[in-house]
Each structure stands twice: as structure tokens, then as C-alpha cells.
Amino acid sequence: MSWQLGIEHLRDLARGAAILGTGGGGDPLIGRLLVEQAIREHGPVTVVDPDELADDAFVIPTAQMGAPTVIVEKIPRGSEPVGALRALEKHLGRHADATMPIECGGINSMIPLLVAARTGLPVVDADGMGRAFPELQMETFSVYGVPGSPMAIAGEHDETVVIDTGTDNKQMEWLARGITIRLGGVAHIAEYSMTGAEVKRTAVPRTLSLGLSIGRAVREARAVHADPVEAIRDALAPTLYSHLRVLFRGKVVDVERRTLEGFARGRARFTSYDGTSELELRFQNENLVAEVDGEVVCTVPDLICVLEGDTAEPITTEGLRYGQRVTVVGISTPALMRTPEALAVFGPSCFGLDVEFNPVEDRAETPAGVATSLAP
Amino acid sequence: MSWQLGIEHLRDLARGAAILGTGGGGDPLIGRLLVEQAIREHGPVTVVDPDELADDAFVIPTAQMGAPTVIVEKIPRGSEPVGALRALEKHLGRHADATMPIECGGINSMIPLLVAARTGLPVVDADGMGRAFPELQMETFSVYGVPGSPMAIAGEHDETVVIDTGTDNKQMEWLARGITIRLGGVAHIAEYSMTGAEVKRTAVPRTLSLGLSIGRAVREARAVHADPVEAIRDALAPTLYSHLRVLFRGKVVDVERRTLEGFARGRARFTSYDGTSELELRFQNENLVAEVDGEVVCTVPDLICVLEGDTAEPITTEGLRYGQRVTVVGISTPALMRTPEALAVFGPSCFGLDVEFNPVEDRAETPAGVATSLAP
């Protein structure tokens, strides 16, 4: 069933999408403000379920691309992602019937809503990552045979770039990243244009609704002083993301972060409240791998989320600060994203990590995660 | 009058174009070999005078882009510049009636011939630099109001990129350079598409014929043991490039060269044969400024050419080696390239040089240039 997404949904969606962003995807605050303004001017957005799409419908996903460390400082004026969509439509000589997120995490849950509000197109309730990932080939669309090319990039001065690398989505990422860096570290894109049939075959379904329901669950738990992490677990249980495990509770003691080659790269260290245990987190825009006392407890493509200890408000990689009191959780990624084909595109080795992927729910529990006490 | 350019013209043209390349533009040897093969397969190339073009003819210039230090190592397979032309034609929805050099110096005298041979299009006897320059906005087309956008780039794996920066040719260069770097340091382009009327208004005319006549003059002088530098002077005298001055005779004593941000940047030092005088040359792909004993003797956009001392064979910036015995000459650039509008685009300050442009023929002669004796 299609439904209307209005301003009243945006705070919950932003919160839920930041959790699904696993530290990356860009802070959704700015995206939320842009969408609020667009809905105020143009009215609410129609969200369609992927099952409702005609097989021959033509869908052009839209997104922001760049380092989260830059995204928080370089604010779009709002027309850029529409510019990317129009440039791709013009290149293809075909109009889109709908737009869609490429990643449901972070600001990229919001950018397609901005496009939808400004153009009147509906947005499909699905995406190509089921979370956030740093690179454009790391999409289920790519894993299951939809080429990202041709793709369009739009800059803040109405520059447009159309890249066509055939079926080589990694080379597309490489060239698009080069342009994004030269546009100042952030740009807007339209890519992986596809039919409704391809959406149904390759996308992670209903991830906009998922973000919304996670965000709402956290808000409602806070209102009644319930544990918001348990609320996230309950919201996820009936979905494709059925397992949530608390990996660690403690404080941020060190953050090392650099904006390098267009990415925010680095690591953060956390110690447990009793000082007996340590978690190390490595990230490239998104959280990639978490180790507790030298043992891997969760890796991509499972989701590693750093949540503010009391409120479960998600903390992005660029927002990590010394002294923050946090709960780190691991969430199982959908089965579609754990196949050998999927792991070949966004498994740990694709990030240069010498770690096997093991589902988070199959790994040993950690003492600092099991501990039920919250921060003293 | 149009004429047929065959294999028999290529060696002279390559030599003359390397002189007009002022150290850059890429070594024409590889280009010559590519064109030889293409003419052998497809027949000779029709060269048309700009005055012959219909005002509404549609011309798409083609070129290679990249650092000369890379160009000598990364050999194209030959289809890339045609790929760039076709990508731009497709984007514009219009077929070219002719191609044209954007720079008549170095390998870029050859690339349009390669395109012409492979496609059957004629090539216009004109270009947009009247020499070689390192950046895409440094073209007379740009100076006199033709936008470079949209432009197409083709890579060795059939990647295509179409960049549109409106009338901002400097931003076009910036983004295209980023793509070129990510394609390995060299790429092929089609840009500044224009009408026949615009060619006549903005291009430097008859620079292919000029390259050919300079190259032929050098060959013929060598055959009769005449001074080949004098032969170049005589060949230039009746053209738009009417002054040639010998700036220096001596030996290369130091070369400092780096491939940096997609360019070959550096400087070279020369001492006179009697050891009393020194020339310093700075370059960014092309030679930019020559100083003798601390005094500027020639700057862009006038041409600074390093020629092998005995034969006047041109030496490119990437070919400079310790111990080479050379004659350095300055050649006056056409008036079209010395206007205030032109100097604002490719005068010394555009290269970060704190030097005024003064025509080479108005500067004081240097002792090491005046010396008539050749190397002892």
C-alpha cells in the first residue's frame, strides 16, 4: 500500500536511519531540514511499496555522495539531487516514474524524499544497501546484476557529470569519487536506474518504513522511561534484521579520524565502565569491524551501531568524541546481504580487513556487552 | 584549399609540432605511429582550411589529455579519441562534420588525424592554442567565448565521462583533470564543439600546415648542412609567428621534474659552453618562463623551445637529460594570443608566475643567445 510521508514522520525516520547508517551515511539532520522545507512548499511525499511497482516502471535512485566529515560542513541548497536526476533522465532520454534510496542509512534516507517532494515523483520503500556503505559498487543492485552506469553527478554550481563504465561498478565508484573530491568532498548523484522488476529482484525491501519504525520505537521507549535498546530489538525482531546484540557498554577514550581520499577513515577506542575491557572500532565512513579485547565481535555487512548510553541516540563516526558514554550494538543484516556474491562485494575483505565474516548472532557474547547494568 | 595528408607528411609534422609544443603536448612519436597505422588501414586524411568551412558546419575538436611523463609510458590503443568524439556526438544528438586539434603542439597535432583517419571526417587546419598549453581553459576558443562544455572523456576500457560546467571552462578543466588522473594520468577528450563560423572567429588558423612546414624546413636544412635554427626562422617569418630569437646555447646541468596533480612540473638549468652564463627554465608540461642570469628573457604565451644543438630536434620537458647540448629559442606567439583577454587566460600570472608578459622580440638579447658559435 502506498502512503503519504509528511513532516510529522521525519524526526523518527532521521533517528532510525542514523541507526541503520552504522556510523555513516551522513548526519540526517541536514537532510531532514531540507525535506521539511520541501514538503512545506510542495506537500507530502508518496511512498510506494516495491511490490506495487509495475514491472516496467522506470526507477532512478538518488543520493548524496561524500565524506561525512565534509557533509556536516558543506550544506546543499537542495536542488542538486534533482539536478542529478534530470541530467540522467536527459542522458537516457527517458523520464523516471519514481525515485528510491540507494542507502537507507543517514542522510541518504532523506535525499530521495527531497527529490520526491520537489519533483512530485513517488519514492520506493526499498534501498540498495539495507544500511549505509561507503562505496557505490557496494549495493545489492550491483551484487545482483544491475549496472550502476550511466550515472549522473551534480555539483553546487549546476555542474553535471555523466559517467558510463559499462558493467564495471567499481570503476564507476573510482571515477565518481574523483569528481566528488574535486567538487569539494560532497556531491549528489543519480545511478542504478532500473525497472520495477529489477527493484523487486535486487533491492532490500521496506527499509524506509523500517527506519521510521525504529526511530518511533526509540522515541516511544524514552517517553515511558523504558530501555530504548530493547525497543530497537523489539522493532527489528519481526523484520529481515532479526537479531540485535549488545556488544559493549562503556566510554569513548580515543578517536583517530582523517578525511582521506574522499572518505572519513579512522578508529575509535572505548573502555568498559569498570575499566576491565576495551572495544576497538575501525571505520571508513561507516563502522566496519568491532573487536573486544582483541576478539572480533561484529563485522560488515552486519551493522555496528554506536548509541548514546542513556537515550540510544545514534552517534555517527564524525560525531564520536572523547568521554561519550555509549552502548555499541550489532544487528544482523538481511540474508540477501550475506550471500557469497554479496560478501564478495561488501564483506570484510572488500575493506582490506583480514577477518572472516561470521553472523553477529553466532559469535560469542562479550562480558561488557552481557553486563546488564547501565552506566553508573 | 583542402589537401590530402598521407604517411609521407607525418615525420615532418611530428617534428614541427614538437617544436610548437614548447616542451609539452606529449611526444608526437607515439601519435605518429598511431596515425601511420590508421592511414595505412583507412587511407589519407582530408585537411580543410578554416576559410573553407561552412558557417554552420559542426566541428568537434579531439585531443589527448594528461601528463607528458605518463603519455610516454601509457600507450593508447587508438580507439579512445574516437570514443570521446562518439560520446559527445551521442550526448549532443548531433554528428560532427569535421574534427580539429585543440593544440597543434606535440601529440595533439596527431590525435585529430587519428580520429579523422578512423572516422573519415576531415580535419580543420587550425587549433585553439597555436602551441601547447597544460590546461583546457587555456584555449583561444575559451578566450573568445566558446564554451568547452559539454565535453567527453574516454578511457582505455571504454569508460566515458561527459562533463558539463556551462560556461566555466576552468571548472571543466578541474573536473576533467580529476578524471584523467583516475584513468591513470592520460585520457582522450572531445570538447569545445562549435560551428564553422566560431572556428573562423576564434581558432589560430593553419597551424597543422605550419607544423608541417617547420618540420620540413628543419629536415631540408639538415640535408644540405645548413643551420636548422635559421631554417625555422625563415619558415616562421611569413606566418603569424614572425619572430624567432635564440635565447641561449649551452648544456643541461640540472633537471628537477615531478608528476604532480596530473601535470609534469619542474625546472631545468643550463650553462653556456663558456660557463659564464646560466639559463633557468620552469615548466608545467610546457615551458613557461626562461631566465638568463636572473633576467626573464621569454614567457608564456610566447613559445620557449629547447632544441638539440646540432640538429634542432625538439626536446620535450620529459626528455630533458643532464649533459644535453641545446639551443633554446623564443618564438613570438600570434597577436590573437597576446590580447589582454588572452593574457588573462594564459599569461604568466595564470601559471602563478610573478612576471609581466613582454613580447620576446622586445626583450634585450642575451650574450649566450647572441653568441653565433655553436658548441665547441
Select the residue of B162, B178, B183 nearest A162 (Cβ to Cβ). Answer: B162
Position of cell 633537471?
B255
B323 class by beta-carbon count within 10 Å (0-12 exposed, 13-18 middle, 19+ buried): exposed
A contact test, residue of B174, B179, B261 with most A CBs within 10 A: B179
Which chain B residues are within 8 Å of A157, Cβ to Cβ?
A: 165-166, 168, 171
Shortest distance between the Cα of A57 and any Cα of chain B, in A, equals: 24
DSSP codes, B106-139:
GGGGTHHHHHHHHH---EESEESSSS--SSTT-S
What's residue B170's pLDDT? 97
Eight-class DSSP state of B81: H
Q: Which of B3, B362, B15, B57 is nearest to B220 (CA)?
A: B15
Residue A326 is which amino acid?
V
The whole-angstrom separation of Cα A168 and Cα B336 is: 45
The whole-angstrom separation of Cα B56 and Cα A304 is: 61
Angle at B49 between CA B46 and CA B54, to 5 degrees: 95
Select the residue of A175, A181, A182 nearest B159 (Cβ to Cβ). Answer: A175
Eight-class DSSP state of B348: G
The residues facing A3 across adjacent strands are: A47
The whole-angstrom separation of Cα B127 and Cα A199 is: 48
Rounded to 5 degrees, what are φ and ψ at B276? -95, -10
Position of cell 573486544?
A292
Shortest distance between the Cα of A252 and any Cα of chain B, in A, equals: 37
The whole-angstrom separation of Cα B285 and Cα B25 is: 7
Angle at B272 between CA B269 and CA B273, to 5 degrees: 130
For residue B48, what are the contacts with CB-CB under 8 A and spacing of at least 6? B2, B98, B122, B123, B124, B125
Rg of chain A on CA atoms, in Å = 19
What's residue B371's pLDDT? 56
Which chain B residues are within 8 Å of A179, Cβ to Cβ?
A: 175, 178-179
Q: Which of B282, B27, B41, B240 is nearest to B140 (CA)?
A: B240
The whole-angstrom separation of Cα B356 and Cα B297 is: 11
Select the residue of B160, B168, B178 nearest A178 (Cβ to Cβ). Answer: B178
SS3 state at A72? coil
SS3 state at B189? strand
Mean pLDDT, residues A100-109: 95
Q: Is the pLDDT of residue A373 over 70?
A: no
The whole-angstrom separation of Cα A153 and Cα A174 is: 13
The residues facing A286 across adjacent strands are: A284
* Structural domain boundaries in chain A: 3-205, 241-370
The whole-angstrom separation of Cα A17 and Cα B323 is: 65
Residue B125 is which amino acid?
D
Which chain B residues are within 8 Å of A162, Cβ to Cβ?
A: 91, 161-162
Q: Which residue of B has its CA nearest to A157?
A: B165
Query: Across the interface, do A163 and B159 touch by the CB < 8 Å criterion?
Result: yes
Chain A residues contacting B, CB < 8 Å?
Answer: 87, 91, 157-166, 168, 171, 174-175, 177-179, 181-183
Query: Across the interface, do A179 and B183 touch by the CB < 8 Å criterion?
Result: no
What's residue A371's pLDDT? 56
Question: What does the block give as the cell for B37?
Answer: 597505422
Which chain B residues are within 8 Å of A168, Cβ to Cβ?
A: 157, 159
What's residue A40's pLDDT? 98
Shortest distance between the Cα of A71 and any Cα of chain B, in A, equals: 20
Q: Can the peptide bond before residue A150 be classed as cis, meaning omega within 30 degrees of 0? A: yes
Which chain B residues are within 8 Å of A166, Cβ to Cβ?
A: 157-159
Q: How many CB pairs under 8 A join A and B?
A: 61
Q: Which of A54, A43, A175 is nearest to A119 (CA)?
A: A43
What's residue A376's pLDDT? 40
pLDDT in tens, A140-198: 999 999 999 999 999 999 999 999 999 999 999 999 999 999 999 999 999 999 999 99
Shortest distance between the Cα of A159 and any Cα of chain B, in A, equals: 5
Query: Across the interface, do B178 and A181 touch by the CB < 8 Å criterion?
Result: yes
Query: Across the interface, do B157 and A171 touch by the CB < 8 Å criterion?
Result: yes
Shortest distance between the Cα of A168 and any Cα of chain B, in A, equals: 9
B contact test, residue of A88, A89, A161, A171 with most B CBs within 10 A: A161
The whole-angstrom separation of Cα A150 and Cα B262 is: 25
pLDDT in tens, A204-247: 999 999 999 999 999 999 999 999 999 999 999 999 999 999 99
Higher pLDDT, A367 or A162: A162
Residue B188 is which amino acid?
H
What CATH number should be reported for the domain whose range is B3-205? Answer: 3.40.1610.10
Which chain B residues are within 8 Å of A159, Cβ to Cβ?
A: 163-166, 168, 171, 175
What's residue B373's pLDDT? 45
Select the residue of A159, A166, A175 nearest B161 (Cβ to Cβ). Answer: A175
Question: What does the block give as the cell for B374?
Answer: 655553436
Shortest distance between the Cα of B111 and any Cα of chain A, in A, equals: 23
Q: What ranges in chain B are assigned the alpha helix state H?
A: 10-20, 28-42, 68-71, 80-92, 111-119, 140-143, 169-182, 196-202, 207-223, 228-236, 340-346, 367-370
The whole-angstrom separation of Cα A374 and Cα B207 is: 78
The whole-angstrom separation of Cα B332 and Cα B344 is: 18
Query: Across the interface, do B166 and A182 touch by the CB < 8 Å criterion?
Result: no
Shortest distance between the Cα of A139 and any Cα of chain B, in A, equals: 20
> Please, what is the angle between helix B169-182 and helix A169-182, to 10°?
140
Shortest distance between the Cα of A113 and any Cα of chain B, in A, equals: 26
ipTM of the complex model:
0.90
The whole-angstrom separation of Cα B187 and Cα B80 is: 8
Q: Can the peptide bond before residue A301 be classed as cis, meaning omega within 30 degrees of 0? A: yes
Select the residue of B158, B164, B182 nearest A175 (Cβ to Cβ). Answer: B182
- Most distant pair of Cα atoms in chain A: their distance: 62
The residues facing A190 across adjacent strands are: A62, A152
CB count, 10 Å around CB of A355?
A: 16
pLDDT in tens, A57-79: 999 999 999 987 788 888 899 99
- A241-370 falls under which CATH superfamily? CV3147-like (2.40.390.10)
Q: Give me the sign of the Cα torsion angle A343, A346, A347, A353.
A: positive
Which chain A residues are within 8 Å of B159, Cβ to Cβ?
A: 163-166, 168, 171, 175
Which chain B residues are within 8 Å of A84, Cβ to Cβ?
A: none
Q: Which residue of B has its CA nearest to A93?
A: B91
The residues facing A46 across adjacent strands are: A4
Which chain A residues are within 8 Å of B175, Cβ to Cβ?
A: 159, 161, 179, 182-183
Shortest distance between the Cα of B263 and any Cα of chain A, in A, equals: 16
Instruction: Tell me the helix, strand and coil percentages in chain B, rounded to 5.
Output: 35, 25, 35
- SS3 per-residue string spanning A355-370: CCCCCHHHCCCCHHHH
Per-residue pLDDT of chain B in tens (376 residues, 90 and over written 9): 799 999 999 999 999 999 999 998 777 888 999 999 999 999 999 999 999 999 999 999 999 999 877 888 888 999 999 999 999 999 999 999 999 999 999 999 999 999 999 999 999 999 999 999 999 999 999 999 999 999 999 999 999 999 999 999 999 999 999 999 999 999 999 999 999 999 999 999 999 999 999 999 999 999 999 999 999 999 999 999 999 999 999 999 999 999 888 888 999 999 999 999 999 999 998 999 999 999 999 999 999 999 999 999 999 998 999 999 999 999 999 999 999 999 999 999 999 999 999 999 998 777 777 654 444 4
The whole-angstrom separation of Cα B188 and Cα B206 is: 23
Q: Which of A85, A161, A75, A162 is nearest to A117 (CA)?
A: A85
Which chain A residues are within 8 Å of B165, Cβ to Cβ?
A: 157, 159
Question: What does the block give as the cell for B97?
Answer: 562534420
Helix (H) or strand (E) holding A19: helix A10-20
SS3 state at B244? strand
For residue A152, what are the contacts with CB-CB under 8 A and spacing of at least 6? A84, A85, A87, A88, A91, A160, A161, A162, A163, A189, A190, A191
Q: Is the pLDDT of residue A375 over 60?
A: no
Query: Across the interface, do A168 and B181 touch by the CB < 8 Å criterion?
Result: no
What's residue B374's pLDDT? 46
Helix (H) or strand (E) holding A45: strand A45-48
Which chain A residues are within 8 Å of B158, Cβ to Cβ?
A: 166
Burial profile A104-129: b = 16 or more Cβ within 10 angstroms, e = fewer: bbbbbbbbbbbbbbbbebbbbbbbbb
The whole-angstrom separation of Cα A189 and Cα B88 is: 21
